[in-house]
Amino acid sequence: MNMLAQPPSRAVTPRLSPAGSRGLLMDMAQGAFDADLQDRVLALAAIARQHPAIEQAVPGMNNLLLVQRAAAGERPALEAWLLEQWAAREQPAAPGREIEIAVVYGGEAGEDLRALAEHAGMSVAEVVRLHSAATYRVACLGAMPGFPYLSGLDPRLAMPRRAVPRMRLEQGAVIIGGPQAGVMPCAAPSGWHVIGQTRCRLFDPQAAQPTLLLPGDRVRFTVLELLP
């Protein structure tokens, strides 16, 4: 084994494509979600926000959407700068905050908990233990204002999304969809599985910082109660 070999994420060359008149999408995805790549995406987003030609830098799942302040006339130079920044350094992500979210698991507000336990081949108590033992990372926000896509779910708890989405999950629903965890910031349709409920408000449009969570933050779920 070559101990001097670079980590795989350093070898990834982003694919660049236009996104509207002022948008530029940098896609670093290599198939399955890569947490190391996401750290580099978040770090590049922080660097890009300091560039005078960039109005917004919005991280996605192993990709980054950039919005220019002016029309795309300067795009070749901007693309070259972005690729240089991506390749020049390891770009470790700045450490995010750690946020605890208290959860009432099960009951009517966590109606899929037993089905998920059966799917995983374990007890409800073991599902709750594994879900609350993990440290999650906010990979990005999307789908709706303040919705966090959380990496770090124990793979034994992964469960494909519902074939037929529910027309409404309530604000504060604690959910699992495929290999990711999440929390509903507002009432909306969803195909994710609901295992509990929290009183934490993830989105408040009147607040100075409208979203409770930001990309790069770490999340811990704590067990407030387990209902039958």
Per-residue pLDDT of the chain (228 residues; tens, 9 = 90+): 333 333 455 578 999 999 988 999 999 998 889 998 999 999 999 999 999 999 999 999 999 999 998 766 678 899 999 999 998 866 566 678 999 999 999 999 999 999 999 999 999 999 999 999 999 999 999 999 999 999 999 999 999 999 999 999 999 999 999 999 999 999 999 999 999 999 999 999 999 999 999 999 999 999 999 999
Domain limits, CATH 3.30.1360.40, in the chain = 15-88
Q: What residue spans in the chain does CATH classification 2.40.100.10 cover?
A: 98-226
pLDDT of 83 reads: 94
Query: In whole angstroms, what separates CA 52 from the centre of its chain?
Result: 27
Top CATH class of 98-226 equals: mainly beta
CATH architecture of 15-88: 2-Layer Sandwich (3.30)
Q: Identify whether the C-beta of residue 139 lies closer than 8 Å to the C-beta of residue 58.
A: no
Residues 36, 149, 94, 47: is their CA dihedral positive or negative?
positive
Neighbours of 209 (CB within 10 A): 7
Q: In the prediction, which pLDDT does 61 show?
A: 94
Q: What is the sign of the dihedral through the CA atoms of 158, 7, 28 and 149?
A: positive
Greatest Cα pair distance, the chain, in angstroms, is 61
**Measured distance CA(26)–CA(15) in Å, rounded:** 6
What would the pLDDT profile of 160-182 be if each residue is shown by its tens digit?
999 999 999 999 999 999 999 99
How far apart CA 18 and CA 65 sit, in angstroms, is 10
pLDDT, residue 9, reads 55
What is the DSSP-derived secondary structure letter of residue 79? H
